[in-house]
């Protein structure tokens, strides 16, 4: 699957990205899109999730340890490819509250990330300042909706993380 930065995306991919950034699109994304990605993963493991091939954005399946339950929790997330590792933003489509995986990574930073059928062990680091801006710019290169989510979140710090690969 060819991933496309915002300036390389075709008209359909750009339209899908704008749709998901809208309030109705965010509602659908929160309640439907991530479930569709998880069902597709169960049916065809080690394949790119539908949200990745529809919009040509980098999507990975992050598995964290539940902060309260201690159970594995898997969620599809859009990734911001970095020189080393991946950036993720706890935008939750611009909600006033952060997503569950945000709390999970803060409680237990070790996780796994499945990307294009390859499972990577990662260690999450919440970043601020220049590193936060680096993740933000890398994410905006693929998806401008993060700017909308920042405004919609009502001043909440979205929570920016770098997922560092962990070597065995």
Any bridge partners for residue 72, and if so which?
Answer: 65
Confidence (pLDDT) at 72? 96
**% of the chain residues with pLDDT over 90:** 42
Q: What is the pLDDT of residues 92-148, one digit of tens each?
A: 877 888 999 999 999 999 999 998 888 999 999 999 999 999 999 999 888 788 888
First to last CA, the chain: 28
What topology does CATH give the domain 6-165?
A: Pnp Oxidase; Chain A (2.30.110)
CB 41 within 8 A of CB 113: no
Structure tokens at 72: 């594995």
pLDDT digits (tens, 9 = 90+) for 81-95: 999 899 999 988 778
Q: Are 78 and 143 in contact (CB under 8 A)?
A: yes
Say how far apart CA 120 and CA 134 lie, in whole Å. 22
Give which of 20, 12, 16, 7 is closest to 94, Cα–Cα: 20
Q: Reading across the β-sheet that carries 110-115, which strands appear in turn?
A: 72-78, 59-65, 110-115, 118-127, 160-165, 86-89, 80-81
Q: Domain spans of the chain?
A: 6-165
């Amino acid at each position: 699957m060819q991933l496309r930065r915002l300036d390389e995306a075709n008209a359909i991919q750009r339209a899908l990205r704008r749709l998901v950034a809208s309030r109705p699109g965010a509602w659908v994304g929160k309640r439907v899109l991530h479930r569709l990605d998880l069902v597709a993963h169960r049916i065809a493991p080690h394949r790119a999730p539908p949200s990745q091939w529809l919009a040509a954005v980098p999507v990975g399946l992050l598995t964290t340890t539940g902060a309260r339950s201690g159970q594995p929790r898997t969620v599809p997330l859009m990734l911001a490819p970095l020189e080393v590792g991946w950036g993720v933003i706890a935008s939750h489509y611009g909600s006033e509250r952060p997503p569950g995986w945000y709390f999970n990574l803060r409680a237990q930073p070790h996780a796994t990330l499945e990307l294009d059928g390859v499972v990577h062990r990662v260690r999450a680091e919440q970043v601020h300042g220049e590193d936060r801006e680096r993740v933000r710019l890398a994410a905006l290169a693929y998806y401008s909706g993060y700017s909308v989510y920042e405004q919609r979140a009502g001043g909440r710090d979205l929570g920016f993380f770098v997922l560092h690969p962990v070597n065995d």
